[in-house]
Each structure stands twice: as C-alpha cells, then as structure tokens.
C-alpha cells in the first residue's frame, strides 16, 4: 500500500507538469501566473503532508486500509478494500469519507442518506 501511495504521488507530480504545459497554450500569461502560484502552494502542501496509512486490518484474503492523503490544501481520509491476488494485494475498491455526515454515519439522529450510515462513500461501479 505504501508503494502505491508513493507511486501515485509521483504520477500526480508528472501529470501536473504535463497539464501545466497544456494550460499555458490556452491561458493568458497573467491568468496562468496566478494559477501557477496556487498550484505551487498545493504542491508545497502535498510535499509537507504526504499520504500515510492510518489503519490496516487483514482478513485472510482481503484487507481494509485507511489512509490520509493530501487533497488540494487539506488532508482527506480514504478507505481501500484490498484483495489478495496470488501473493500481491490489489485494490478492489476505494472510498472517501462521506462529506455529508463527516464520516459519522449520522445526520440529525438518523443514518446518513448519502453513505447509508457507513461514513464512507464510494464513487466506483458497484461490485458485481
């Protein structure tokens, strides 16, 4: 999981460099300069606050890993569901903390309608 987080951060840095070159083609110099300052602040935040594993639970051939990861200028929590494929752990599903209930699973003394009371929300296709 740590390898994934490291490689994902490196991929994001590489992608941002390519994206900035693309944007420069279509934006005015002053607008591009403002966006560059904002992007530099975000990159600095990401460098100072790298992704980290908070909790990991192993269930024989599956596991659940909770991480904190930089998202713009804040830390976000994610939950990864892993499956053991041969001798390698593979990501099966990724969920983010529910923004509606702030991961509590509750809204006004009822189960959160967005996450169904789990505190997590996935945006991937449902499991088959």
For 53-71, how does the pLDDT look when each residue is reduced to its tens digit (9 = 90+)?
999 999 999 999 999 999 8
Residues with Cβ < 8 Å from 122, sequence gap 6 or more? Answer: 93, 94, 95, 96
Question: Residue 111, SS3?
Answer: strand
Task: Say if pTM beats, i.e. exceeds, 0.75.
Answer: yes
d(CA 113, CA 18): 39
What are the boundaries of each domain within the chain?
Answer: 1-96, 98-128
Q: What is the mean pLDDT of residues 20-37?
A: 91
- CATH-assigned architecture of domain 1-96: Roll (3.10)
Per-residue buried b or exposed e for 110-121, using 16+ beta carbons within 10 Å of the residue's own CB: eebeebeebbbb
E strands present in the chain? 52-58, 62-71, 74-85, 88-97, 106-107, 110-111, 120-122
Given a contact cutoff of 8 angstroms between Cβ atoms, the answer to whether 57 and 81 are in contact is: no
The tally of CA atoms less than 13 A away on the side-chain side of residue 51 is 20
The larger pLDDT score, comparing residue 123 to residue 102, is at 102
Q: What is the mean pLDDT of residues 114-124?
A: 91
User: Which residue(s) pair with 81 in the sheet?
Assistant: 64, 93
Q: 8-25 pLDDT, tens per residue?
A: 989 988 888 888 888 899
Q: What is the mean pLDDT of residues 93-99?
A: 94
With a pLDDT cut of 70, the percent of the chain lying above it is 98
User: What integer pLDDT is reported at residue 42 of this predicted model?
Assistant: 85
pLDDT tier for residue 127 given thresholds of 50, 70 and 90? low
């Amino acid at each position: 999981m740590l390898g994934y987080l490291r490689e994902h951060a490196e991929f994001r840095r590489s992608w941002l460099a390519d994206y900035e070159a693309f944007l420069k083609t279509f934006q005015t110099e002053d607008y591009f300069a403002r966006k560059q300052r904002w992007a530099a602040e975000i990159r600095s935040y990401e460098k100072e606050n790298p992704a980290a594993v908070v909790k990991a639970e192993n269930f024989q051939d599956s596991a659940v890993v909770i991480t904190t990861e930089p998202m713009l200028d804040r830390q976000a929590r994610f939950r990864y569901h892993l499956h053991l494929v041969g001798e390698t752990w593979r990501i099966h599903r990724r969920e983010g903390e529910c923004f509606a209930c702030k991961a509590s699973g509750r809204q006004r003394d009822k189960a959160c309608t967005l996450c169904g009371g789990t505190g997590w929300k996935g945006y991937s296709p449902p499991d088959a």
